[in-house]
């Protein structure tokens, strides 16, 4: 996992009180959504990181199956942490490991029917919550873009 280095501004004085308010407001909306998401995952019987993993596998760019390394990058966790997470998801019968037909050394990840069903239920409530929050987020993002 390679964390992105934060660029330091030449002078913090370039920020106005409005900038701080908007950044705080955006951060607040993110935290509200994350708290919602964590509660929804737990209510469905999953750890929040398990839900994130299911979504990352299903929604991997290009519509292809990710490797554990790619999953680790998407979740911003270390490879060995992703291995443990996948092990737990496999044990719960939510995820399967598949050998790549073209490169037998490559193992990809896929959702089981149970994993698909659980993710679909969670994704509907998440989409609805984001739709509810969208006007507030649009407002904050539009002001930040100015």
Domain residue ranges of the chain, discontinuous segments joined by +: 16-145
pLDDT of residue 13: 65
pLDDT of residue 10: 59
Q: Would you say residue 57 has pLDDT above 70?
A: yes
Q: What is the pTM of this model?
A: 0.86
Among 3.40.50.720, 3.40.1010.10, 1.10.10.10, 3.20.10.10, name the CATH number for the domain at 16-145. 1.10.10.10
Q: Would you say residue 97 has pLDDT above 90?
A: yes
Taking the chain, what is the end-to-end CA distance rounded to the nearest angstrom?
Answer: 33
Average pLDDT over residues 108-119: 98
What is the chain's mean pLDDT, rounded? 92
- CB hemisphere CA count around 109 (13 angstroms): 27
Average pLDDT over residues 19-43: 97
Distances (CA, A) of 89 to 18, 86, 119, 131, 143: 44, 5, 12, 29, 41
Q: Would you say residue 1 has pLDDT above 70?
A: no
107-111/95-99 β-pairing: antiparallel
Least confident of 11-20, 35-44, 125-134: 11-20
Query: Which of 26, 23, 10, 4 has its CA nearest to residue 136?
Result: 26
Is 29 within 8 Å of 137 (Cβ atoms)? yes
Can you tell me the distance from the alpha carbon of 124 to that of 37, in angstroms, rounded to the nearest whole number? 12
φ, ψ of residue 64 in degrees (nearest 5): -100, 165
Is 130 within 8 Å of 30 (Cβ atoms)? no
Q: Would you say residue 107 has pLDDT above 80?
A: yes
């Amino acid at each position: 996992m390679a964390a992105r280095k934060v660029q330091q501004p030449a002078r913090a004085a370039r920020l106005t009180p409005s900038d701080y308010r908007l950044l705080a407001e955006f951060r607040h909306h993110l935290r509200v959504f994350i708290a919602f998401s964590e509660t929804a995952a737990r209510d469905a019987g999953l750890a929040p990181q398990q839900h994130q993993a299911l979504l990352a596998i299903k929604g991997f760019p290009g519509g292809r199956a990710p490797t554990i390394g790619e999953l680790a990058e998407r979740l911003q966790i270390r490879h060995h942490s992703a291995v443990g997470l996948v092990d737990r998801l496999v044990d719960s019968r939510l995820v399967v490991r598949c050998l790549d037909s073209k490169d037998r050394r490559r193992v990809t990840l896929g959702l089981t029917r149970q994993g698909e069903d659980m993710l679909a239920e969670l994704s509907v409530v998440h989409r609805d919550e984001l739709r509810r929050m969208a006007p507030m987020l649009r407002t904050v993002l539009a002001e930040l873009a100015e």
